[in-house]
Structure 1
Amino acid sequence: MDLVTVLAFVGLALLAWDCIEVGRNDAANIVNAVFGARILPRRLAVALAGVAVILGASLSTPVMETARKGIFDPSLLTLRVAVIAYISVYLVDTVLLYAYSTFGMPVSTTACLIFELVGASMGLYGVSIVHWDKVGTVLAAIFVSIIMTGLAGFLIQRVFRAAVGSRIDDRETILLHGPWICGLMLTGLLWFMVFKGMGSLSVVQSFRESTIDTYTPVFVLLTAWGIATLLVHLFLRVSGDFGTKYLFAGMAVIGMLCLAFAFGQNDLANCASPGLSAFWLWKNSHESVATATKIPIPPWVLFVCGCLIVGGMWTRDAQRVTRAAVNTGSQFDHVALYAPNWCRAVARWIVAALPRRPELAPPPVKTPTGKKLHYDPLRAAVISSASAGVIALASSRGLPVSTTYVAFAAVIATGLADRVLSRGDADLKIGRAIWVVVCWFLAAGIAVVATAVVARLIFHFGVIGLAATAALNLLVRFVAKRRADEQEERVHLRIRESASAEERSQHDQDAEQF
């Protein structure tokens, strides 16, 4: 059996592995808002989001094409070299995503894929093979999506919070402002998810021609906003206190489902395209590399990949990523997080430079079972809705932007809008955000260098090189897991000691008053 055949079938196994790793890390991007607000138990949230992920994955072909052959020119490579490039991406991606996940660090699977493809192609051929214009377009889209989400999340949250304030349970306030706020969210989600995310479907194109193309987008959107506002108002009138209590919680769940659908559309390319490309190249080895990469991918393959992503969302490390993302934007003073001392020092300087103003969010509370409500339902709805809209817009243009970056930007932006990052462990939360961003840049550099080295080892040593790099992958996973568990224990020990100190202080104060 030759090397190409071995790599083709190894690629299928690594495809399943990488799908799980993508689900393991990006779970935080989908359920963190709903989980942080305690709207749904995490298992139920993951189950509902998983259905939407699988549905979105089945419609992800435009993004797949960008990842399969948009980053470098496969026609310049031989069959053997092209397959080595795709497998090298997997050997680095699986361990890189796992290491970040086990430390609770959200990382962009999209950026990792892009830089791994660049590293493999450069390591095997040189800089001339890379489509630098396409790489620049994708990276620009990533940065623009972060800015868009940050600005949108901050402005929307500030406007909605100014209208509702902390009166999230007051019926008169919800009757006054709930309809137009939720109507605007529903209109935005409808626009981005249907006309952008599913714009390639014939039924959507026909509907668009008969509405938007005929009556202009402004008129159609204003009309849709008015209809949605009326429907929400009628719902509140009919449902009574139930509607008042669960209106924004329901919007957060709808936003989560839309984000999950957009995630499935966009991030499937990050784990499926290298393995599918390698297998299709081997299966159609009688054709040129350029021709083989144009073969369409069957929907059932995309469906299976979507199911594997959902499997990764159920893992323990996925819960660690979720908790860390939630704590970074938490309304509570003290949170279980890690950030290096230099990041906390920079954060303290930032906090000291900012003017002291009262926070706008409701005071932090706990559930009857003692669990923290890190967000209120209004903020959770804004986080999930803004993230879903930006990802769906990118997917419609075939750009594999970062769901991680977008969701993280929404959490930080809405936290800044509510002014919840300026007291308590402010230096820790802002320091963690700084550390996450720094690690994103580190991931890019690691992806380029490591993939280039792995590709050269497999190219020169064949099966022996493949076995050696796979063993190195497992070794790094073992070391990362052990160190991450030690870090997690230190963080929780600090929280326990801090809580004990507060209890002793409160006890002393009570004794003095007595």
Structure 2
Amino acid sequence: MDYLLLIVAILLVLAIADIIVGVSNDAVNFLNSAIGSKVTTYRNILLIASAGILAGCFFSSGMMEIARKGIFQPQHFTFDKVMWIFLAVMLADIVLFDIFNALGLPTSTTVSIVFELLGAAAIVGFLFAAEKGEPIGEVMKYINVESTFSIISGIFLSILIAFTAGVAVQYFIRSAFTFQYEKRLKSLGAPFSGMGITVIMYFLLIKGLKGTTLAQAGWVQTLNENILVFMALLLVTTTAICFWLQQQFKVNPIKIVVIAGTFSLAMAFAGNDLVNFIGVPIAGLMAYQNWAESGVPADALYQDYLATNDVIVPVYMLGIAGLIMALTIWLSAKAKKVTETEINLGKQDEDGSDDRFKPNNISRRVVKTAMLLGNVFDTVIPRNVKRRYNLSFERDKLSKATRVDQDAPAFDLIRAGTNLVLASILIAWATSLKLPLSTTYVTFMVAMGTSLADRAWGRESAVYRVAGVLSVIGGWFITALFAFSVAAFFAFIIYQGMLATGILLGVVVIYIIISNIKFAHKERQSKKEKSRLSLLEEPDLDVYRRNKNMLVTMVVEVSGHYSTILNGIRSGDAAAIRKADKELLELINYTYKLKRNSLRAIRQLGAADRRSAEVIVYGADLIQDMLQSAKFLSTESLQYIENLHAPLAEGFITTLENLGAKMDKFFRLAINELNEEEGPDVPLLRQNRNEIRTFINTNFGNELDIIRRKNIGSKQALLQTSIFLQSRDIQAVLFRICKIYGKFEN
């Protein structure tokens, strides 16, 4: 009894954890369009979404039917076996979503819970059947394979439908509005917005308020019976209101659509997907209460109760769940990471492709095929339609509509409104026909379809974004396989008894702790990189000055790492060199973004600023050369110390100290001169450069003589000569950097 009660307590704790990891992933469904279009401040978007979540929880059906949906047959399991299934499902769900959240990939809570129940029930059913001596053919009675695969086929079919609909609908809407949509708002804004709000209201009625506990009055049935009349009246009313607000108060009506869509999707998400987070724990709690009242042994009470009774959740539990969900979207860094992935993949700016996804043969073939199909369609589409559509993408208009500064929206309100309205239509339509689907898959694929129609996937970024989309879709299939396999494995362990269950719980807890520590470290590194790039966005400085500040910052970092490497060589401190080596690698990876952002920044320069553009590009290229020399030195030094080679001679250590002092002096001089308003003093720098170059060349020659005369090991000789060679390269590049800025500024 104590063991089973402990499982119930663990399930309730896991319910809270599952809400946090689940919402961190699913938040992208209703936040993506509002955040991407920057319809209002980030704080206001979260307030709107929080209100939708809280409303959705209280208007939830309150019926946690996850154990009664035909995924498995609870009436064939005893109470203890059902509890083991539920525990395995919750542990697998938390691990699964923590992995996807850390990767920043959206996935489906519905698919995961379905396959987790299927996997856990299958293995427990097999072991239970073997325990009772039942034939193998009887195992299939424990699960409902036909129903499960019907659900999954419907869910994955929605992927194709959502993407195709997104492309087609956005094609015509963009043709009507163009990117300079402000000019068309007077005539098209109110009708489009009225239709969008009407669809969103229909979505709430069909999907958001379906079967609620707080809206069971007869007016709901009456409303559904006269839905067409109601929708017509609503369309006329909302269109009139939008037109009045637009004329009287200069309100952009499309903003109302995006805000209302964000609220409705958040509300529907909370009202219907809540079952995926707390359905299993609540079902376990109700089953425990039923067993406690029955007086029947746990291994003898078959769960006809779960198979035949509604599992009703108290309103206070719905409120607690809603509060946790709302707090999660405010506090979860992983929710922001998942949202960033989808927004980056749909960004209108071609330079905004998500660098995390590298092109592969599949993405390249998809792009080539799409280009060929585009040529085919080009011959079919009427010329006047193509002409009007292409006018929306004239280079000057597009550049004005999609600014390159950091604060620009990822896409405009037209696409944001289309995303929300179309996703609402598809979800409401499928729900009304009782067709299964995943809200995550629908919203993501609609967003990808509309971005394709908006030509966000141009030649500059197509292979990267296709690779990203394929990675996300591939992750969805992995979701099913992972959910089934891990839940089955966990169920097998739990079936072995209390000790095995305790070990499993400990391993999962340790994994979650380590995972969050690693994620926090990555986020710190990401923020550090963003803070560097933010120097390129300082609004009070011109483009040239911003890039120079960035370059000086990089020189300061290289100086610090170079000193750390030389000190580490002298003292044999492998840990210090390892840290420097890792940070230099991060800086080298960062310089690609620096060069890309520098090229984007020079677009802001006028035609007369060609020399400024050259200095910016040369500076970024030279700092990359300096980093590569420093990285080569750190890697070679680290390998030498870690492999326990012979310690360096005292005479060479003394030379290293002198080299470090001279290089440090040269670094400080160069940094000070670069910061001078009138520009670097090139003659002064040349004098210091010549001194340190003479020192390096002299000692390099002496080192070669020592290698020839004495029997020095090849590893030691390689390191000692490499120190001089890489130091010479670093100081030469540093002087060239100062020289190009000195010539330009003087």
Structure-1-length-normalised TM-score:
0.88
Does the CA-based 8 Å contact 1:15-1:272 persist in structure 2? yes
Q: Mark the runs of 5 or more structure 2 residues left unpaired by the alignment.
A: 127-139, 295-301, 379-389, 530-585, 615-746
SS in structure 2 at match of 1:61: coil
- Taking the aligned partners of 1:512 and 1:69, their CA distance within structure 2 comes to 66
Correspondent of 2:305 among 272, 280, 291: 291
> CA offsets, 1:110-158, max 9 Å, x none?
1111111101001110443112233134223423443443344333322
For residues 304 and 389 of structure 1, do their structure 2 counterparts lie closer, same or farther at Cα, with a shift above 3 Å needed? farther
Q: Mark the runs of 5 or more structure 1 residues left unpaired by the alignment.
A: none
For residues 272 and 228 of structure 1, do their structure 2 counterparts lie closer, same or farther at Cα, with a shift above 3 Å needed? same
1:485 maps to amino acid? K
- Taking the aligned partners of 2:429 and 2:278, their CA distance within structure 1 comes to 21
Does the CA-based 8 Å contact 2:427-2:439 persist in structure 1? yes
Match in the other structure for 1:260: 266
For residues 359 and 90 of structure 1, do their structure 2 counterparts lie closer, same or farther at Cα, with a shift above 3 Å needed? farther
Does the CA-based 8 Å contact 1:340-1:435 persist in structure 2? no
Query: How far 1:308 sits from its partner (Å)?
Result: 1.8
Larger radius of gyration, structure 1 or 2? 2
For residues 281 and 393 of structure 1, do their structure 2 counterparts lie closer, same or farther at Cα, with a shift above 3 Å needed? farther
Correspondent of 1:162 among 153, 175, 178: 175
For residues 278 and 196 of structure 1, do their structure 2 counterparts lie closer, same or farther at Cα, with a shift above 3 Å needed? closer
Structure-2-length-normalised TM-score:
0.62
1:255-404 alignment to 2 at 5 Å?
255-285=261-291, 286-287=293-294, 288-292=302-306, 294=309, 295-314=311-330, 315-335=332-352, 336-342=354-360, 343-350=362-369, 352-355=371-374, 358=390, 360=392, 363=398, 370-393=406-429, 401-404=437-440
1:94-493 alignment to 2 at 5 Å?
94-126=94-126, 127-170=140-183, 173-200=184-211, 206-207=218-219, 210=222, 213=225, 217-218=227-228, 220-239=230-249, 242-243=250-251, 246-285=252-291, 286-287=293-294, 288-292=302-306, 294=309, 295-314=311-330, 315-335=332-352, 336-342=354-360, 343-350=362-369, 352-355=371-374, 358=390, 360=392, 363=398, 370-393=406-429, 401-472=437-508, 474-475=510-511, 478=514, 482=518, 485=522
- Taking the aligned partners of 2:72 and 2:152, their CA distance within structure 1 comes to 15
Correspondent of 1:496 among 554, 576, 594: 594
SS in structure 1 at match of 2:39: coil
Does the CA-based 8 Å contact 1:266-1:401 persist in structure 2? no
Correspondent of 1:510 among 610, 615, 628: 610
Does the CA-based 8 Å contact 2:60-2:209 persist in structure 1? no
Does the CA-based 8 Å contact 1:39-1:249 persist in structure 2? yes
281-290 vs 438-447, greater mean Cα deviation: 281-290
Query: How far 1:479 sits from its partner (Å)?
Result: 5.3
183-192 vs 354-363, greater mean Cα deviation: 354-363
Does the CA-based 8 Å contact 2:39-2:255 persist in structure 1? yes
Does the CA-based 8 Å contact 2:107-2:476 persist in structure 1? yes
For residues 334 and 466 of structure 1, do their structure 2 counterparts lie closer, same or farther at Cα, with a shift above 3 Å needed? farther
For residues 398 and 303 of structure 1, do their structure 2 counterparts lie closer, same or farther at Cα, with a shift above 3 Å needed? farther
Query: How far 1:350 sits from its partner (Å)?
Result: 4.1
1:73 maps to amino acid? Q
Aligned sequence identity (%): 22
Match in the other structure for 1:88: 88
What RMSD in Å do the two structures reach over aligned CA positions?
Answer: 3.2
327-336 vs 277-286, greater mean Cα deviation: 277-286
- Taking the aligned partners of 1:279 and 1:400, their CA distance within structure 2 comes to 27
2:319 maps to amino acid? F
- Taking the aligned partners of 1:220 and 1:200, their CA distance within structure 2 comes to 19
- Taking the aligned partners of 2:426 and 2:495, their CA distance within structure 1 comes to 39
For residues 42 and 156 of structure 1, do their structure 2 counterparts lie closer, same or farther at Cα, with a shift above 3 Å needed? same
SS in structure 1 at match of 2:497: helix
Query: How far 1:83 sits from its partner (Å)?
Result: 0.5
For residues 456 and 368 of structure 1, do their structure 2 counterparts lie closer, same or farther at Cα, with a shift above 3 Å needed? closer
For residues 37 and 65 of structure 1, do their structure 2 counterparts lie closer, same or farther at Cα, with a shift above 3 Å needed? same
For residues 480 and 16 of structure 1, do their structure 2 counterparts lie closer, same or farther at Cα, with a shift above 3 Å needed? closer
1:274 maps to amino acid? V
Does the CA-based 8 Å contact 1:99-1:480 persist in structure 2? no
379-388 vs 475-484, greater mean Cα deviation: 475-484
Does the CA-based 8 Å contact 1:192-1:392 persist in structure 2? yes
SS in structure 2 at match of 1:355: helix
> CA offsets, 1:398-422, max 9 Å, x none?
7773221111011111112222212
- Taking the aligned partners of 2:494 and 2:452, their CA distance within structure 1 comes to 47
Does the CA-based 8 Å contact 1:124-1:456 persist in structure 2? yes
For residues 16 and 44 of structure 1, do their structure 2 counterparts lie closer, same or farther at Cα, with a shift above 3 Å needed? same
78-87 vs 142-151, greater mean Cα deviation: 142-151
For residues 446 and 350 of structure 1, do their structure 2 counterparts lie closer, same or farther at Cα, with a shift above 3 Å needed? same
Does the CA-based 8 Å contact 1:67-1:269 persist in structure 2? no
- Taking the aligned partners of 2:346 and 2:312, their CA distance within structure 1 comes to 42
SS in structure 1 at match of 2:27: helix
483-492 vs 142-151, greater mean Cα deviation: 483-492
Does the CA-based 8 Å contact 1:63-1:266 persist in structure 2? no
For residues 153 and 5 of structure 1, do their structure 2 counterparts lie closer, same or farther at Cα, with a shift above 3 Å needed? same
For residues 457 and 318 of structure 1, do their structure 2 counterparts lie closer, same or farther at Cα, with a shift above 3 Å needed? same
For residues 393 and 481 of structure 1, do their structure 2 counterparts lie closer, same or farther at Cα, with a shift above 3 Å needed? farther
For residues 513 and 125 of structure 1, do their structure 2 counterparts lie closer, same or farther at Cα, with a shift above 3 Å needed? closer
SS in structure 2 at match of 1:371: coil
1:235 maps to amino acid? L
- Taking the aligned partners of 1:43 and 1:512, their CA distance within structure 2 comes to 39
1:23 maps to amino acid? V
Query: How far 1:495 sits from its partner (Å)?
Result: 2.5
Query: How far 1:40 sits from its partner (Å)?
Result: 2.3
- Taking the aligned partners of 2:215 and 2:89, their CA distance within structure 1 comes to 37
- Taking the aligned partners of 1:130 and 1:384, their CA distance within structure 2 comes to 36
Query: How far 1:371 sits from its partner (Å)?
Result: 1.3
2:398 maps to amino acid? P
